[in-house]
Every structure is written in structure tokens, then in C-alpha cells.
């Protein structure tokens, strides 16, 4: 179930409107700090872990 979710989430983030937003967030990350959070206890099985990698691939400056 997790692998299917991750695959679908990545595909959704590749859509043009999401990709433009990710580009904007990546650019913003070089000027200011911001956080993405949720209630998942384990980032390895959470959308924010996937999002971290996607943001990196868009050139974001990512801490941790």
C-alpha cells in the first residue's frame, strides 16, 4: 500500500500546476526558511519524506 501511495503522490507532484508550485518553493528555500509538517511519527512512511526528495530534485535547499 505504501509503495502505491508513494508512486501516486510522485505522479501528482509531476503535474504542471504542482511542479510550478514546487519550483516556487525551491526558489523560496534559498531566501528564507520554512517547514513542512504533519502528524506522521515516521518520516520514512510519510508524504513529507517523499516531498523532501521532490523539493531537492527541484533545486531546493533542504535542511537535515
Tell me how far CA of residue 60 lies from CA of 2, 40, 57, in angstroms.
25, 22, 7
Q: What is the pTM of this model?
A: 0.87
So what's the pLDDT on residue 22? 97
How confident is the prediction along the chain (64 residues), in pLDDT tens digits per residue? Answer: 999 999 999 999 999 999 999 999 999 999 999 988 888 888 888 999 999 999 999 999 998 7
Amino acid at each position: 500500500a505504501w509503495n502505491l501511495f508513494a508512486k501516486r503522490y510522485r505522479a501528482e507532484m509531476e503535474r504542471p500546476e504542482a511542479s510550478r508550485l514546487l519550483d516556487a518553493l525551491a526558489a523560496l528555500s534559498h531566501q528564507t526558511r520554512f517547514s513542512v509538517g504533519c502528524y506522521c511519527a515516521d518520516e520514512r512512511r510519510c508524504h513529507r519524506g517523499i516531498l523532501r526528495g521532490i523539493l531537492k530534485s527541484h533545486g531546493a535547499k533542504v535542511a537535515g
